[in-house]
Amino acid sequence: MIVKERDFPANILFLQAIERRLTDDHHSMPRVKELLAKQIKGYKGESAIDYPLSILHDQDYHILHSVSLQFQNQNFHIDTLLVAANFILLIEVKNMGGTLHFDRKFNQLTQTYAM
């Protein structure tokens, strides 16, 4: 059962409003477009998990999207929180493109785009 729906990000609405008000030749337009594309890509990535989660039985799982919490004056965000009788799963989604390489020696992930 979805306890908390995923909210459409206010920062996307904010950037869209700025984009509508700037002229195409404004010096800030490239940065606004870059930020907007990045935010939309992230939102689409987070939303992509919705379908697989919809297959779960409603009575067995509780799903909370876009959870923001504060602990000891520190704020943190959880993309999706899945709560079951036996476990709690924090789901952090990354919408990555290009070629991903997992380096086992350095325990590092690198992302490469072909140009």
Question: pLDDT tens digits for 32-59?
Answer: 999 999 999 989 989 999 999 999 988 9
Domain extents in the chain: 2-112
* Cβ neighbours of 58 (radius 10 Å): 10
Q: Which residues of the chain have pLDDT under 50?
A: none
pTM score over 0.85: no
19 burial via Cβ count (<10 Å: 0-12, 13-18, 19+)? middle
β pairing state of 74-84 and 61-71: antiparallel
Judged by DSSP in three states, 63 sits in: strand
